[in-house]
Structure 1
Amino acid sequence: MARWPRCAYSAALYALSPWVIRRVWREQVPTYSRGQRLGLGPELGDSAGAATLWLHCASVGEVRAARPLIGALLERYADHRLLITTMTATGAEQVRVLTNDLLPALASRLDHRFIPLDWPGSARRFVARVHPVLAIMFETELWPNLLHACRRRGVPVAVVNGRLSPRAFERYQRIKPLMRQALANVSWLAAKSPADAERFIALGMPAERTAIVGSLKFESRPDAAALEVGKRLRADVETSAETGSEAAPGGRPVWVAGSTRDGEEAALLEAHATLRQRYPEALLVLVPRHPQRFDAVAAESRKAGFVTVRRSQKEPVTAATAVYLGDTLGELGALYAAGDVAFVGGSLVPLGGQNVVEPASLGRLVLTGPSLENFDDVAEPLKAAEALEQVADARALAEALIHAFDNPIEARRRGSAGQAVVAEQRGALERTLAGLGRLLTFS
């Protein structure tokens, strides 16, 4: 196969290196060496010589979605270590949160590093130091030089929960020779839907190495510790309600807006103001996706006239509190559990949405904006069960919230229907593990 697509790609990366370094250098944690971005770092391994499985997840959402796979790999391959790499600092924090939740026996075999920049030298150094027996890329993480470095060292590569939205497919079509070259290094691709599989094959992924296994996002199960945190928070919220005041039939109305993005909060706050005209005690639990925006969102909420408290500052919820800012990391599931209705962000702006399965698995009615193309496969069965409702704007969101709180029995029924859909759709994890097991057998 011609080398020029990857060579041209590498040359472009080198030309853009000042911008790339500035952009990625910000995604750092003080306890990590920036040398990891160049593929530097100690070799992995322990006194027992445990082999390393490598799983790459781009950021926090992918780490959360991969959680069932992470636990299963650690349990099934007890004589292996698992290295998780992420691109972002929030992803690294999510790995830390996950590690704290694991049993000590499992957590001791879990490592984290930042993925190196996809320069040829960095990629080669990283693979040489980690020397994994299997590389697993989550969703659409196709880094040409890293994949090439794996192939040179005989490391089988799997893409799991393979996702390729129509928008991403159009972008990749413009660099099809490069993508065909990158996909030639993939040993097995586990697509989450037939449409995703077709797009990958159209880009050059060999059909005989492609399987449709379903979405790992449906493997999400409520975490007992998160449920307990959510239960305590909800108890605090209910205690804060003024005795004898009118509230929704099911108690103080609480809705959670998770993974919100820049440009969405104004609409959410507008919808909340409309809701509070009918239910003055209504509480919005607002959880921005990116921590660098926490301060700005808090200021925006207060500027809109809402009494706002912040979870990170351990400020109590009172009867006067209108917005509770979830400005901590790794607690989205617990905050979803504290509410009656969930709005999933990244959808009122054209970003393709975020994971709608997590709140559905908790039995919550799920609302989103119109942009949900990145999660069409998991959204469709939820919509068919009336467990997920898409709204066009702030006005429609307010109407949906008012209807839910006016009709709590119906809202709970719809939430339970979503929970049943999630349970019915499970099975992708076992199919994925079976495919990975075959790669390890022949590696």
Structure 2
Amino acid sequence: MSERWARAFLTSYRWAGAAAYPLIGGYVAWRASKGKEDHARRRERYGRAGQPRPQGPLVWVHAASVGETIAVTPLIERILGFGINVVLTTGTVTSAHVARERLGDRIIHQYVPLDLKPAVSRFLDHWQPDLAIIAESEIWPMTILELGARRVPQVLVNGRLSDRSFASWSKRSFLAEALLENLAHVVAQSEVDAERFRALGARPVTVSGNLKVDTVPPPVDEAELTRLRGEIGDRKVWAAVSTHEGEELAAAEVHKLIKGRHPGLLTIIVPRHPDRADAVAASCAAMGLTVARRSLGDTIAPGTDIFLGDTIGEMGLYLRLTEIAFVGRSLTGQGGQNPLEPAMLGTAVLSGRNVQNFRESYQKLAANGGARFIRDKEVLAGAVNFLLNNEAERRKMMEAGRRTVEDMRGSLTKTLQALEPYIHPLIVQARLDTPNVAEGR
């Protein structure tokens, strides 16, 4: 019965998508008008290729957003080193920017096609991938089914299922099994994630750890870093990064609460979505705070209270300006944001308790003394004040974070081991096509 329900649902999904396809243009145009789509490349969302397919073996890697793109970058670099072509799809304008910044023209970047049969089929007809690698938790029914129908191996890497996603799929376990049985392998982040994928019907499932640990620290423009450090001088600094709605206001209130104890204090606020910067700047100004905006090229003057990091792709710059960082989507939001980049750059990490999406990373950081949890803005103010006053404790947290990240490394090697049966034939093919290709190991 469950198989029959799954088949009926997926058939309905296929036909509903086909019916909606002619009408979807208005939706994509609306997203483009809001800056959520690249207007000049909207055709890619319908599976229309922006450039020709290269000769030889090709791997399709999909990473939905910025975090996933950063996570799979070292894996993509290893695949490229084998002489294999890579087409990378992402779903957001910001992730496309990160892909261009970190991988340049070594890969072909395309926006991921809409999960509608005409778009997916057109995409696959053109690119004809030999292997599909999907990052984290991107389970799109039509894409998975179309790849399965073409017998293209699909491997989910850095696999993760949040509490909410697992609960949702568990209610539709018959559907989850019908989709996950198309995956050739799931490489999960943790044992918890692995058990969840197995419970939903995935086989085989192995554990690699978090690929984000094996990334390099976020890059920085050294000239800009030097310039901004010169503007800041010897002022005390702390940051609230990857913040969501409500957390910027909390950071601004923390600034007001402790400013009297730390004359000249500078607070850096980096919203997760820079398109909210106007509202954040207005809220801070309404509180009587002086704001300098990175996007406008404002100078950090002696009287600046808030430095608003409202740009894309400069987290490496903001984190290098501070030794204390609150990581957002954890106080007023749900799920948390990645604490590993701050930790690997030697930053003392503070966070709310809602970090389900990065539970294992936070548990290890907290156990080793590299991160502390806070329950509200008053406790956040106390923690920031304490760390600003206690250099020895601050340095201890910074070093603990660095050490924890180093101890967690190794996920890239494990992921490559899981991919070896699918990658090796492509390496052989690439060498036959180009005899002088280096091994790349």
Aligned partners of 2:105 and 2:19: how far apart in 1?
40
Question: What is the percent sequence identity of the aligned residues?
Answer: 35
2:56 is equivalent to residue 60 of structure 1: no
2:228 is equivalent to residue 233 of structure 1: yes
SS at match of 1:185: coil
SS at match of 2:39: coil
- Which residue is equivalent to 2:432? none
- Which residue is equivalent to 1:378? 361
2:117 is equivalent to residue 120 of structure 1: yes
Aligned partners of 1:120 and 1:379: how far apart in 2?
39
1:65-103 deviation digits (Å, cap 9, x = unpaired): 3232233332x32x222211111122212222223xxxx
Aligned partners of 1:395 and 1:413: how far apart in 2?
23
Paired amino acid for 1:84: L
Q: Is the 8 A contact 1:6 1:181 kept in 2?
A: no
Q: How far off its partner does 1:236 sit? A: 2.6
1:14-52 deviation digits (Å, cap 9, x = unpaired): 6777689626833211331x1211111256423xx1322
1:96-136 deviation digits (Å, cap 9, x = unpaired): 2223xxxxxxx333111111111122111111111111111
Q: 1:416 to 1:232 in 2, by over 3 A?
A: farther
Aligned partners of 2:19 and 2:242: how far apart in 1?
34
Aligned partners of 1:109 and 1:196: how far apart in 2?
32
Q: How far off its partner does 1:193 sit? A: 0.4
- Which residue is equivalent to 2:10? 6
Q: How far off its partner does 1:231 sit? A: 4.8
SS at match of 1:431: helix
- Which residue is equivalent to 2:327? 344
Q: How far off its partner does 1:227 sit? A: 6.4
- Which residue is equivalent to 2:156? 159
1:129-151 deviation digits (Å, cap 9, x = unpaired): 11111111110001111111112
Q: 1:16 to 1:172 in 2, by over 3 A?
A: farther
Q: 1:406 to 1:396 in 2, by over 3 A?
A: same
- Which residue is equivalent to 2:214? 219
- Which residue is equivalent to 2:434? none
2:326 is equivalent to residue 326 of structure 1: no
Range that drifts further, 161-170 or 272-281: 272-281
Paired amino acid for 1:440: I
Aligned partners of 1:347 and 1:15: how far apart in 2?
39
Please show how residues 143-292 of structure 1 align to structure 2 within 5 Å.
143-206=140-203, 209-223=204-218, 225=220, 229-238=224-233, 251-292=234-275
Q: How far off its partner does 1:197 sit? A: 0.5
- Which residue is equivalent to 2:348? 365
Please give the root-mean-square deviation of Cα atoms over the aligned residues, in Å. 2.1
SS at match of 2:380: helix
1:176-223 deviation digits (Å, cap 9, x = unpaired): 2222111111111100100000111111112xx110111112113325
SS at match of 1:262: coil
Q: 1:227 to 1:356 in 2, by over 3 A?
A: farther
- Which residue is equivalent to 2:45? 37
Aligned partners of 2:38 and 2:199: how far apart in 1?
38
Q: 1:97 aligns with which of 94, 101, 113?
A: 101
SS at match of 1:392: coil
Structure 2 unaligned blocks of 5 or more: 427-441
Aligned partners of 1:159 and 1:146: how far apart in 2?
13
Between the two proteins, the alignment pairs up a number of residues equal to 417
2:17 is equivalent to residue 22 of structure 1: no
Please show how residues 70-81 of structure 1 align to structure 2 within 5 Å.
70-74=76-80, 76-77=81-82, 79-81=83-85
Aligned partners of 1:289 and 1:91: how far apart in 2?
13
SS at match of 2:252: helix
- Which residue is equivalent to 1:298? 281
Paired amino acid for 1:129: H
1:364-418 deviation digits (Å, cap 9, x = unpaired): 1001111100000111110001111111111111000000001012101111111
Paired amino acid for 2:265: A
Q: Is the 8 A contact 2:254 2:377 kept in 1?
A: yes
TM-score (norm 2): 0.89
Q: 1:20 to 1:302 in 2, by over 3 A?
A: farther
SS at match of 2:40: coil
Aligned partners of 2:257 and 2:25: how far apart in 1?
43
- Which residue is equivalent to 2:393? 410
Aligned partners of 1:390 and 1:15: how far apart in 2?
48
Paired amino acid for 1:66: V
SS at match of 1:118: coil
Q: How far off its partner does 1:337 sit? A: 1.2
Q: 1:153 to 1:36 in 2, by over 3 A?
A: same
1:221-264 deviation digits (Å, cap 9, x = unpaired): 325645675454323311xxxxxxxxxxxx42111211111222
Q: Is the 8 A contact 2:18 2:118 kept in 1?
A: no
